[in-house]
């Protein structure tokens, strides 16, 4: 999953970087770095486990940490 695909998936789910960070047990800063263009010096590759969880979220699975309302 590319950074742009990851960001688009998060937006499609209606989640903020903070909310997704809580679901993935990471910081909003890490989410931001995963979403950065790959040519930026502070960008990081999207974590493969996070990408897999994002796929589950897109298919309808919701963890207990899912934001209410």
State which residues form the domain around 20.
Answer: 3-58
Q: Can you tell me the distance from the alpha carbon of 61 to that of 44, in angstroms, rounded to the nearest whole number?
A: 26
What is the DSSP track for the chain? --HHHHHHHHHHHT--HHHHHHHHTS-HHHHHHHHS-TTSTT--PPPHHHHHHHHHHHTT---TTSPP-
For residue 31, pLDDT over 90 is answered with yes
What integer pLDDT is reported at residue 3 of this predicted model? 93
Q: Mean of the per-residue pLDDT values for the chain? A: 93
- Residue 45: CATH number of its domain: 1.10.260
Domains in the chain: how many in total? 1
Q: Considering the domain boundaries, does residue 49 fall inside one? A: yes
What integer pLDDT is reported at residue 49 of this predicted model? 96
Mean pLDDT of 5-13: 97
Decide: pTM greater than 0.75: yes
Confidence of residue 16 (pLDDT cuts 50, 70, 90): very high
Q: Considering the domain boundaries, does residue 11 fall inside one? A: yes
């Amino acid at each position: 999953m590319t950074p742009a695909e990851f960001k688009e998936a998060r937006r499609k789910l209606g989640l903020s970087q903070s909310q997704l960070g809580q679901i993935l047990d990471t910081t909003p800063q890490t989410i931001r770095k995963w979403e950065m263009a790959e040519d930026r010096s502070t960008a990081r590759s999207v974590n493969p486990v996070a990408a897999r969880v994002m796929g589950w979220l897109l298919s309808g699975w919701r963890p207990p940490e899912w934001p209410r309302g």
